[in-house]
Amino acid sequence: MKKQLWVIIVSTVMVIFSAGSVWAHFGMVASSDSMVMQDDEKTIDIRLSFSHPFEMVGMELLKPKSFSVAANGEKISLTTRLNETRIMGHKAWETSYTIKRPGVYMFYMEPKPYWEPAEDCFIVHYTKTVVTAFGVDDGWDAEIGLKTEIVPLSKPYGLYSGNVFQGIIKLDGKIVPFAEVEVEFYNKSKRFKAPTDYMITQTIKADQNGVFTYAAPWAGWWGFAALNTADYKLKKDGKDKDVEIGAVIWVEFQEPIF
């Protein structure tokens, strides 16, 4: 009996450890539309969360340190416009934004540090998504100037499923050679199931120039997270702990209309 109980305990711990080590964390900035085509103003919805998006397992997102939009040469803070909501059963944030002018709109957040005991570190994901409006098709490769950032080398909208997306990883404005990039699908409808845990998160590495390449196999929103360790530490229970900083971008791929 004791032996059977021990086997059950060990097996349970191994499953939990396996899931925690395989599932990737993703800051999320999700827009209700990545391409606004009307020639008059339109209101879009923006939702901010923190999760394992393929498995649809949410985590608490404290109100972000900052949330802003960069467009037409301006950066406007939207932090005070955030309203608390629930996404995947956990605290998240949302707001609406009315687009009145043509342009490329970059929505981005800097969250407060999230303590992850399974990894014994804090997590800060600088997360953004790009929305184009009213026919504008340039400026999508602009750099916001975040602590760490994925700068697109492919348009981060107007992509078919199967298209390649490329980005260059920067940290403090400098490229990061051979950085690891985690890729995960926002499985909102829970339509997809991974054959094994190894396929929940796709992992690739940037080349010597900090450039990564990924072809999305099907339509929907895909998250790309380039991970590095910060050059500072934060205190937890009086001890210095590492900080994982991620440059995250969310990109929508679509199917053609037949």
Residue 18 has pLDDT above 90, yes or no: no
Q: What percentage of the chain has pLDDT greater than the value 90?
A: 87
Q: Is 100 left (phi over 0), alpha (psi -120 to 50) or beta?
A: alpha
Which tens digits make up the pLDDT trace of 62-103? 999 999 999 999 999 999 999 999 999 999 999 999 999 999
Average pLDDT, the chain: 91
Cα separation, 139 vs 28, in Å, equals 22
pLDDT confidence of residue 5: 42
Sole residue written with tokens 């059963």: 89
Cα separation, 84 vs 47, in Å, equals 10
Residue 3 has pLDDT above 70, yes or no: no
Cα separation, 111 vs 124, in Å, equals 6
pLDDT confidence of residue 172: 96
pLDDT confidence of residue 23: 63
**Helix, strand, coil percentages for the chain (3-state, nearest 5):** 10, 50, 40
What stretch of H or E contains 168?
Answer: strand 164-171
Question: Total structural domains in the chain?
Answer: 1
**Structural domain of 177:** 2-254
Which tokens go with 152? 């697109």
Average pLDDT over residues 26-40: 91
Average pLDDT over residues 137-157: 96
Q: The CATH number of the domain where 99 resides is what? A: 2.60.40.1930
* Strand partners for 166: 213
pLDDT confidence of residue 41: 77
Which tens digits make up the pLDDT trace of 181-230? 999 999 999 999 999 999 999 999 999 999 999 999 999 999 999 999 99
Q: What percentage of the chain has pLDDT greater than the value 70?
A: 91
